[in-house]
Amino acid sequence: MRLSKRLEICLKYVDGFHNLADIGTDHAKVPIEAVLRGYVMKAQAIDNKHGPYVIAYSNVKKAELLDRIQVKRADGLSDISNDTDVAIISGMGGLTIQKILQDSDLKQLKRIVIQANDNEEAIRKSLQNINFKIVDELVFADKEKLYGVIVVEPGNERLSTLECAFGPINLRQQPYYFTKKIKKELDYITTVIDNLTDATKHPDLLQRQQDLKEALMWKETT
């Protein structure tokens, strides 16, 4: 089963764990590959909608893995097995993922791999409330589209406003696709500001421009 680069990247972070919960599994490709490759002993393919649940069940059955992958129709992490130690939540909006995390009892999880389609900031902001901290971050391109992955584990860390917006590890390491993305937005916002008659009437734009500049300067200033 071929996985996209995006899903391959999520998958590599679960190698060595015991029972994976793939939340919003859709086709169940991720738990199937995780078990077939021996990354985890067993897995759960979880989706809250009927259509994806049916497809997930059919794919797990075809792969002859119904004894090692439980297919469940459930909301977020509400119905994970007691021995679940790792979860992937990918391909959803940041606010949906934030809600899933906030509504769940996460005590048993040793790692959560998060790939949000937008609003990573909302997720980083809520990490402190759920007692998780960021252990890795990535920005990468898959078919010319840029994605981010945030890997979190139990722990506490206080993030600044800028760290919530851009990611503490991204800021420290300034990876290639991260700076590319920031520079692109900065060029765009600067053009918009330069074309305004009175930019002082748009403090949000000016603040964003300042934040983007600070994000690129992070290495030199801290």
Ligand X SMILES: C[S@@+](CC[C@H](N)C(=O)[O-])C[C@H]1O[C@@H](n2cnc3c(N)ncnc32)[C@H](O)[C@@H]1O
The smaller minimum CB distance to ligand X, of residues 76 and 167, is found at 76
Question: Segment contacting ligand X (CB under 6 A): 21-29, 129-137, 167-175, 207-215?
Answer: 21-29
Buried b or exposed e, range 91-130, using 16+ CB within 10 angstroms: bbebebbbbbbeebebeebebbbbbbeeebbbbbbbbeeb
Residues contacting ligand X: total by CB under 6 A: 17
Residue type, 158: R
According to CB under 6 A, which residues from 84 to 143 bind ligand X? 90-92, 96, 100
CA 183 from centroid of its chain's CA atoms: 22
The smaller minimum CB distance to ligand X, of residues 24 and 148, is found at 24
What are residue 154's DSSP bridge partners?
132
d(CA 82, CA 49): 23
3-state secondary structure 184-196: HHHHHHHHHHHCC
Tell me which of 3, 48, 140, 179 binds ligand X, using CB under 6 A. Answer: 48
The smaller minimum CB distance to ligand X, of residues 148 and 168, is found at 148
Q: Minimum CB separation from ligand X for residue 7, in Å?
A: 6
Give the residues lining the site for ligand X (CB under 6 A): 7, 23-26, 46-49, 52, 75-76, 90-92, 96, 100
